[in-house]
Structure 1
Amino acid sequence: MDSHFSPVFPFHWKAATMSNFSDWQDRMLRAVWRHGEHLPEEVLTWMHELYDERGEIPEPEFCDLWTDRTFSMARSAFETVTSSAEQATGKPATGDDFSYIDYTRDPALGPVGVVHIKSSEVSTPDPAEVLAAVAEGVQEFIMTHHQVPWPVCDEHDRGLHVAYFHETVVWKCTGGPGDGHVVRAIAPAVQP
């Protein structure tokens, strides 16, 4: 009896691994209710790195990591944005009296946690999305609590709005010709 051996070439292993990753990624995106949604490349890259590091982790563990990453980014963004607001306005944006940022995880409301900053909320661990939501929330707080517009365009003397410019979160002025102009990036970048 002759045995026939068929060697497995590296590209077969890579194709099988990519297939396994794709299946796992689809399952995890369904678990966090993001299947079929366009997600930023950074979130997909994070998922790929997570898979390379830990393999096919179960849904509850993935949801916990998704939530932890989102909350961590929100805390980092909050420190950055409130520091900028306090420097520009001279008004406090943090302290014992201020409780306008909330991190909640309620399984009855969904599989992952949500960050609420005034009327803004975010539940996707994407640095740009988190930074935009936090900037809008802090801006809303400064304007309603202290009744001070922040930030303001020096050229047009009007309040700025959060916008995206080439996937970068920016402060944008609606003054001037056309659709207005970008004043500056909201930086530094949020760290996971």
Structure 2
Amino acid sequence: MSNFSDWQDRMLRAVWRHGEQLPEEVLTWMAELYDEHGEVPEPEFCDLWTTRTFALARSAFETVARSAEQDTGKAATGDDFRYIDYVRDPDLSPVGVVHIKSAEVSTPDSAEVLGAVAEGVQEFVMSHHRVTWPVCGEHDRGLHVGYFHETAVWKCTGGMAKGHVVRAIDPAVQL
């Protein structure tokens, strides 16, 4: 019988993430999974990784779409929004991938998923509605997804410092 560290290394190789610096949230999730279920077999672990990623993407989409609609009055839902796709093809990857317009994500990290979903919704709002969203109130520039202390944020590239964090992508998160 191996220990947690050995199991974790095997599972990260299984999902093609071995050697990457993973966020604490993902490592904690893996530790909790191991504590609760022991050595989950590789196929089951890949399914759990995919299930978590897809659930995070659905939740992130609701958050970002609501924020976009509140800011612009334009919806990113319904028949017009055909850009979100959940793909599980074992021939391409051991885990599922969420495609949102041209962004994609395949990790159960809430910040990375939120960032990818925000990029996809932003791309949709800009291409479908011809609206720049979101915009920095100080510099009147479109914002870009970034990360600050493992939090997905909207960043502006304007100003003397050549950029600053404007706000968290999730309006419920205070920086």
- Same fold judged by TM-score > 0.5? yes
RMSD: 1.3
Deviation by residue 1:36-70 (Cα, 9 ceiling, x = unmatched): 11111110110000000000111110000000000
TM (norm. structure 2) is 0.94
State the aligned residue count: 172
Alignment of 1:130-145 (within 5 A): 130-145=113-128
Partner amino acid for 1:109?
L
Preserved contact between residue 81 and residue 124 of structure 2 (Cα < 8 Å):
no
| Correspondence for 1:44 | 27
Distance 2:40 2:148 in 1: 35
| Correspondence for 1:72 | 55
Distance 2:75 2:24 in 1: 35
| Correspondence for 1:174 | 157
Deviation by residue 1:128-172 (Cα, 9 ceiling, x = unmatched): 100110011100110011110000111111101111122221111
Partner amino acid for 2:149?
H
Alignment of 1:47-126 (within 5 A): 47-126=30-109
Distance 2:138 2:31 in 1: 44
Where 1:96 maps in the other structure, the secondary structure is helix
Following superposition, the deviation at residue 179 of structure 1 comes to: 2.2
Q: Among the aligned pairs, what percent are the same residue?
A: 81
| Structure 1 runs of 4+ with >2 Å offset | none
Rg bigger for which structure?
A: 1
Give 2:4's match in structure 1, choosing from 21, 27, 38.
21
Following superposition, the deviation at residue 97 of structure 1 comes to: 2.9
Distance 1:112 1:180 in 2: 35
TM (norm. structure 1) is 0.86
| Correspondence for 1:11 | none
Partner amino acid for 1:80?
T
